Amino acid sequence: MKNVVKKTAALSTAALLLVCSAFADSPKSNSKKHMHSDKFAERPAHTDRNYVPAENSVLGDWILRENDKIVKAEFDRDGTMEITWKQGFTSEIEWKGTWTATDSEITFTVRSKETETWTNGTKRETREAVNAVWKIKYKLSGDTLTLTSSDLPKEVANGTVYNRDY
């Protein structure tokens, strides 16, 4: 009888500990930041410094505004690139792909082209796969980026001077 009571007490204690541990807080420390938070890639800035793109870097967003046309070139740190052309409120073309650069030339490997047009309130979208490489000469001077290339499509070929878009 003593053994039955001991075994019952031991099983009851084990069951109680198991149930309590399921509802207890994790024993992990909260001192480390979680790797998948929205602040994952951020580094704290020194109080006396501001972070801006490097003087010789095309990274970031560049924009060209002319009359009723806007062209935006986006060079992302992960190697992706987009060029968007907008004509008023009626047409938009976006080329997407990847980019690399030397100190004077950007190589834009275009993977897709998306076209949106609006006629009488109706939107029409087309997407197409593209396999093209555009060689684009560039010159960077402060917040001004000059692009020249015979590879650029007619929509963006005439506009060559872009300003950094903060």
Could you tell me the CATH number of the domain that includes residue 126?
A: 2.40.128
Model pTM above 0.75: no
136-160: buried (b, 16+ CB within 10 Å) or exposed (e) per residue?
A: bebebeeeebebebeebeebbeebb
Helix segments in the chain, DSSP class H: 2-23, 154-157
- Could you tell me how many helices (H) and strands (E) the chain has, helices first? 2, 8
Asked, for residue 88, whether it belongs to a domain, the answer is: yes
Tally of residues, the chain: 166
Q: Determine how many CB atoms are found less than 10 A away from the CB of residue 166.
A: 8
Asked, for residue 23, whether it belongs to a domain, the answer is: no
Do 81 and 75 contact (CB within 8 A), yes or no? yes
Q: Rounded mean pLDDT of 8-19?
A: 55
Instruction: Write out pLDDT tens, residues 74-133.
Output: 999 999 999 999 988 889 999 999 999 998 999 999 999 999 999 888 999 999 999 999
Total of domains in the chain: 1
pLDDT at 124: 93
Amino acid at 104: S
Asked, for residue 19, whether it belongs to a domain, the answer is: no
Asked, for residue 98, whether it belongs to a domain, the answer is: yes
Which residues span the domain enclosing 135? 60-164
Q: What value does the mean pLDDT of the chain take?
A: 78
Asked, for residue 155, whether it belongs to a domain, the answer is: yes
User: What percent of the chain stands above pLDDT 70?
Assistant: 65
Question: Which residues, 6 or more positions from 63, have their beta carbon under 8 angstroms from its beta carbon?
Answer: 70, 71, 72, 73, 162, 163, 165
Q: Which tokens hold the place of 122? A: 């109706």
Asked, for residue 87, whether it belongs to a domain, the answer is: yes
Do 56 and 140 contact (CB within 8 A), yes or no? yes
Asked, for residue 30, whether it belongs to a domain, the answer is: no
Asked, for residue 135, whether it belongs to a domain, the answer is: yes
Residue 52 has pLDDT above 60, yes or no: no
Instruction: Write out pLDDT tens, residues 65-76.
Output: 988 889 999 999
